């Protein structure tokens, strides 16, 4: 019997890989995206298009009402998004308070409703330095509480938890994925900026894999 899973799918390159990886393993995937009041929704447009092409169930959940509670992040508040690498202290401004716990809680509820057994999300090793809710101890505790939060036992899994972006991209290239169908940039302009932390880490992964990114970037990136 095909395993049903819920995949939290932002439309970025990590979750794009994860979504397709799950499908390649024969999983019956239910994709779940969130509009939480982020400054732009380009990732969500990319996510919708991919799911339409794959003909898989996809819900974009509007939780913008909680925007008033998620203050202090450059991704949601009136704070300039910094340029620079993820290793730089300034990138802590991109932390959205409790984001993954909120999203995972809703995804777990959705998994119960569609009779899925597990929730997958794309936390990875490159996130550990900046984002507490992408670290192994967070994933372990969320998985543990999910076991007892409902009558139904739902597991929480981050398959790429120990991987860096270079390895994630390598997996996607093995699957033959076109990364022009994903959006990573924190700035929602016509083309990716190439300078924010998300873009820089993405471009490093492509460089490490010795392939060109098919996504369009602004001049000078």
> 3-state class of 83 per DSSP?
strand
Report all structural domains of the chain as residue ranges with CATH numbers, in order of start: 4-208 (3.40.50.620)
Asked whether residue 162 carries a pLDDT value surpassing 60, the answer given is: yes
Question: CB burial class (10 A; 0-12, 13-18, 19+) of residue 68?
Answer: exposed
CA distance linking residue 61 with residue 21, whole number of Å: 23
pLDDT bin (cut points 50, 70, 90) of residue 74 is very low
> 3-state class of 8 per DSSP?
strand
Please give the average per-residue pLDDT across 74-102, as a whole number. 60
Of the listed ranges 57-61, 67-71, 111-115, 161-165, the least confidently predicted one is 67-71
């Amino acid at each position: 019997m095909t395993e049903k899973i819920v995949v939290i799918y932002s439309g970025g390159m990590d979750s794009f890989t994860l979504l397709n990886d799950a499908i390649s393993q024969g999983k019956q995937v239910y994709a779940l995206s969130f509009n939480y009041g982020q400054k732009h929704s380009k990732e969500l447009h990319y996510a919708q298009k991919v799911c339409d092409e794959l003909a898989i169930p996809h819900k974009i959940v509007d939780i913008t009402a909680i925007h008033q509670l998620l203050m202090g992040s450059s991704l949601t508040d009136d704070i300039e998004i910094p340029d620079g690498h993820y290793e730089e202290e300034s990138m802590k401004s991109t932390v959205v308070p409790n984001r993954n716990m909120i999203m995972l809680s809703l995804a777990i509820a959705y998994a119960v409703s569609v009779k899925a057994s597990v929730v997958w999300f794309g936390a990875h090793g490159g996130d550990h330095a900046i984002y507490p809710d992408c670290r192994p101890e967070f994933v372990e505790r969320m998985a543990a509480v999910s076991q007892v939060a409902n009558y139904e036992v739902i597991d929480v899994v981050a398959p790429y938890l120990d991987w860096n972006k270079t390895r994630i991209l390598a997996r996607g290239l093995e699957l033959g994925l076109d990364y022009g169908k994903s959006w990573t940039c924190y700035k929602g302009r016509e083309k990716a900026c190439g300078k924010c932390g998300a873009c820089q880490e993405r471009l490093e992964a492509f460089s490490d894999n010795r392939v060109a990114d098919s996504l369009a970037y602004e001049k000078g990136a």
